[in-house]
Amino acid sequence: MRQIENFIAGEYVAAASGRRFEKRSPVDNRVIASISEAGRPEVDAAVQAARAALHGEWGGLTTEQRVELLYGVANEITRRFEDFVEAEMADTGQPSHVMRHVFIPRGAANFKVFADVVKNVPTEAFQMATPDGAGALNYAIRVPKGVIGVICPWNAPFLLMTWKLGPALACGNTVVVKPSEETPNTAVLLGEVMNAVGVPKGVYNVVNGFGPDSAGAFLTQHPGVDAITFTGETRTGAAIMKAASEGMRDVSFELGGKNAGIVFADADFDAAVDGIFRSAFLNTGQVCLGTERVYVEWPIFERFVQALKLKAEAVKYGRPEDHAANYGPLISQEHKRKVLSYYAKAVEEGATVVTGGGVPDMPGELAEGAWVQPTIWTGLPETAAVVREEIFGPCCHIRPFDSEQEVVALANATDYGLSTTIWTTNLARAHRVAARVEVGITWINSWFLRDLRTAFGGSKQSGIGREGGVHSLEFYTETRNICVKL
């Protein structure tokens, strides 16, 4: 069983209180790690270390020197690729091919992408007239925002953590990371990489624990934290926003979603089925951008439902290291209970269960894991709980529609606004619908295709702010104007 400590000022340290908690494997429910729970003293030490680094060696580096270090971090992650794959598989239980081809490579790439952005981004300058005719010159500079509190989710922990770390560090900030209590491994492992590359101590810190009355609350309430970035559930985001209001600190939130997938009758049928299958069931449905509401035009509705059913019933369950497996467990027993409660609620509300709706028959010790079946429903009204509320599991409800106007109204009838995916060969229609759907990101004839230079974030209750490319600089830096009288 692995012993996981906090990472503060370049050292691995246990909490002075001695408090620890267990991490269980989602695959078979075995205890696989004992984790030190940071208290107020450890959070304070981490914030102080970050502040010292900000005004010390790290703060004295040039942009070029920071960029070189971040490229070194990315290269060291790649060199230790197998360690990160194994750590992430242990935490999440997801198949190795997802770790190898998506989550870990993207995690490494985040450092290089944002290093390049910072290295190449221009600032503005304006000449202005003055009454004496001599004129003046205004120019802008960008400075780090300060100590950033980074609160990470458990569904794609390394990818989503580095999505925040990359721009934060490239811009010259220092960070205190609070990973999910379910997925601490890669955050702590990254400390070894930072030390190996020579990132100054205190630039990167990790405090483990929970939310209320634990490391999460202590970090968001700490007056030494200048800004907070969070990916996770909307209600947690609201609580963090209240904490951040003390001191008027900036926030960047990517929150919940109840995303729609829209399939028109003229779509490439096989591509649409494959795309909706991925968007509903990748990572066992634990994807903020995932599709839980599917709207299919009437002429292909029955055919589409049956095709998606066959794909869902063909998933291969198995341990993450099993290369034949393409479907893993949920993150925990607690989350399994939540998802199964929605499965039961769907039936209570009158859903037709097309497939799934329960727990698969798993062999041996796997029967103790957090496994649930991929599930498809039809027949529910838009007022049903499983159509309105984010489940964050491997499930979707499919409803037919008649017209473009109707499906846009259905897609927008939600408190959330994170993403949507549209499937049609009529590109004029695709552009029309994409412009009318109230979300932060729309995919046309694809899903999860991400150019990291583009703006990313949610509308309505799905988030605040935009990150990605130069958009990240708006959160991770302060822009200062300097006016020079000539």
pLDDT digits (tens, 9 = 90+) for 459-473: 999 999 999 999 999
Query: Which residues partner with 263 through β-bridges?
Result: 296, 423
Q: Which amino acid is at 195?
A: N
Q: What are the structure tokens assigned to 353, written together?
A: 């269960």
Q: Torsion angle, CA of 50/51/57/59, rounded to 10 degrees?
A: 110
Residue type, 339: V
7-45 pLDDT, tens digit each? 999 999 999 999 999 999 999 999 999 999 999 999 999
Question: What is the secondary structure of 342-403 as a DSSP string?
Answer: HHHHHHHTT-EEEE--S-----GGGGGS-----EEEES--TTSHHHHS---SSEEEEEEE--
Output the six-digit token pair for 20: 């620890």
Residue with tokens 């759907």: 437
pTM: 0.96
- Other Cβ atoms closer than 10 A to 201: 18
Non-local CB neighbours of 265 within 8 Å, separated by 6+ positions: 297, 298, 299, 300
Q: Which amino acid is at 352?
A: T
Amino acid occupying residue 385: A
Q: Are 208 and 6 in contact (CB under 8 A)?
A: yes
Catalytic (active-site) positions: 254, 288
User: CA–CA distance from 201 to each of 204, 340, 395 (Å)?
Assistant: 7, 44, 44
Q: Which residues contact 218 (CB under 8 A, 6 or more apart)?
A: 38, 39, 40, 43, 44, 207, 209
Phi, psi dihedral angles at 57 (to 5 degrees)? -60, -45
Euclidean distance between the first and the last CA atom of the chain, given in angstroms as a whole number: 67
| Alpha-carbon dihedral 407, 419, 389, 347, rounded to 10 degrees | 60
- CA nearest neighbour of 200 among 71, 52, 58, 7: 58
Phi, psi of 22 (to 5 degrees): -95, 150
CA distance 67 to 72: 9
Nearest to 187 by CA among 77, 97, 287: 77
| Positions of the chain with pLDDT lower than 50, given as ranges | none
pLDDT of amino acid 1: 85
Q: Which residues pair with 378 in a beta bridge?
A: 352, 398
- Distance, in Å, from the CA atom of 51 to the CA atom of 211, rounded to the nearest integer, reads 23
User: What tokens appear for 102 in the block?
Assistant: 């998506």
Q: How far is CA 35 from the centre of its chain?
A: 22
What is the reported pLDDT for 365?
97
- Model pLDDT, residue 437: 98
pLDDT at 162 (0 to 100) = 98
Q: Report the side by side order of strands in the sheet with 125-128.
A: 125-128, 136-144, 477-485
458 CB-near residues (< 8 Å, 6+ apart): 253, 254, 255, 257, 416, 417, 418, 419, 439, 440
DSSP codes of every residue in 14-71: --TT--EEEEE-TTT--EEEEEE---HHHHHHHHHHHHHHHTSTGGGS-HHHHHHHHH
Query: Which two three-digit tokens encode residue 29?
Result: 């429910």
DSSP codes of every residue in 427-456: HHHHHHHHHHS-SSEEEES-SS---TTS-B
